[in-house]
Structure 1
Amino acid sequence: MATSYMDFTSPHAQFTYDLSHNQFFKKDERNYINALSINELNTLGNVSMLDIFLSTSNVVEPHIHQNASELVYCVSGAAVVSIVNPFTKELLHFPIQPGQVANVPQGWWHYEIASVDNTHLIAIFDAPVPEFIGGSDLLRLTPASVLAHTYCLDEAKVKETLAPITNTVFIGPPNDCKQAQAQGKTAANPAYSNPAHPNQQYYGQHHRQNFYYPQYQQPVIGNGIGYWNQY
């Protein structure tokens, strides 16, 4: 815990808080995030958390926390926490169920996908207010001409592809996602095809060890290649 200069005898010292009073983001009634930081509970010290609720196939968008590491704990439901290891250049997938955790080192690119409805995750950070940089912001704020030039892409196609991203997504896909609606791939549709879906089973390799997750049937490790302050 960081050194605290809090006067714990002060009548202003706070020792309890209701997270439902600080909703950080809401997509709909089943997909939302409540937040707790030192701004809400002044005795916290060097720790903070997000209370995350997701339905099937909803995604906490790819992002980084440049000032904090993140421990993701599954309270109920199931999810897959995916991270990019910048040293090995691998995309790693870690399925978690109630009582299980996945750790995301500080500054690592990562995202979480709900495998079932009524998934509840708690993300704990070693910072009083974790910063969040979302993939949606990087994509919408970087000029299409720069992306096209840097990666040898068709600028017109880049502009067309990224045009729908007008705000920070936080939980995707957005409610107005026309592509998902056209294909019937909504969060409420269990046929939505994604690597976290519980009807797709896979065997996992986790830190060079073999684990079997009965709800999956795809590798959880692959080649390939995480400013929240809106209070």
Structure 2
Amino acid sequence: MTSNIDYTSPSTNFTYDVSKSNFFKKDAQNYINVLGIKQLNTLENTSLLDIYLSTGNVVEPHIHQNAAELVYCISGSAVVSLLNPFTNQILNLPIKPGQVANIPQAWWHYEIATADGTHLLAIFDAPTPEVIFGSDILRLTPANMMAHTYCLDEQQWKQAISPIQSTTVIGPPVNCNQNRSTITPTTQPSNKQQNLYYQDSYYFPLYWGY
């Protein structure tokens, strides 16, 4: 038990309806509900995101700087991808119902649904998982700094990221007009004893608390 919780207080809560606490909604098939200490004040070092996705939708690349994350697949299927900072390789971890993928604290990662009706439960070892989204890195870092640092054409960079007007969370955005097929991670087998894959290239990413 945590000493700073008054378990005798009438305002102390032990149950909560997670469906009443929406964090982000793209549409009726793609949304995220949240449960943290703000919603349930007796939580200790635990919180969760209840994630619903349809095929090809992505929880955008991001990090949780204060928590590790365990992703459990309830229905559908998804690929959880993470950048291993010790090997500089992307690991693509396909999961289906009953399977989990573990993401160490502060590792760059994202999830893409590979079936309609995908339902994921993301569990964190913090009362409120903090998050830095890739879309915020791209749109809020000054263009002249990106151009100078990476030897880019500043105007081309501005044009390339101009569609990113807000935090994406679940992509592609509803107003995306690009005609593209569903993206699946490029994979190759790496270990017969583990259901994981490596990818050589990767992206590299601010701060949100749920």
1:134 equivalent to 2:133? Answer yes
**Counterpart residue type for residue 27 of structure 2:** D
Task: Give the CA deviation at 1:145.
Answer: 1.4
The one of 194, 200, 204 equivalent to 1:223 is 200
Residues in 2 aligned to 1:104 and 1:54: alpha-carbon distance in whole angstroms: 19
Task: Compare 145-154 and 47-56 and name the one that shifted more.
Answer: 145-154
Secondary structure class of the residue paired with 2:98: coil
Q: Which residue of 2 aligns with 1:210?
A: 192
In 1: Cα distance, 2:189 partner to 2:28 partner: 32
The 2-side partners of 1:171 and 1:112 are apart by 10
Kindly report structure 1 stretches of 4+ aligned residues shifted beyond 6 Å: none
Matched AA of 2:44: G
Structure 2 gaps, min length 5: none
Per the alignment, residue 36 of structure 1 pairs with 35
1:42-121 equivalent positions in 2, closer than 5 A: 42-121=41-120
2:192 maps to 1:193: no
Alpha-carbon distance, 1:94 to partner: 0.2
Count of aligned residue pairs for this structure pair: 207
Q: CA deviation at 1:168?
A: 0.4
Q: Secondary structure at the match of 2:130?
A: coil
The answer to whether structure 1 residue 159 and structure 2 residue 158 are counterparts is yes
The 3 A distance-change label for structure 1 pair 62 and 4 is: farther
Question: 3-state DSSP class of the match of 1:63?
Answer: strand
RMSD, aligned CA: 1.9
Does the Cα contact within 8 Å between 1:129 and 1:228 map onto a contact in 2? no
CA distance in 1 between partners of 2:38 and 2:189 (Å): 40
> In 2 relative to 1, CA 167–38 (structure 1 residues): closer, same or farther, beyond 3 Å?
same
Q: Summarize deviations over 1:184-204 as a string: whole Å, max 9, x none.
A: x4xxxxxx33115xxx9x663
Instruction: Select between 143-152 and 82-91 the one with higher mean Cα deviation.
Output: 143-152
Structure 1 counterpart of 2:102, one-letter code: N
Contact 2:55/2:114 (8 A) holds in 1? yes
- How much does 1:155 deviate? 1.2
State, as a whole percentage, how many aligned pairs show the same letter: 58
The equivalent of 1:216 in structure 2 is: none
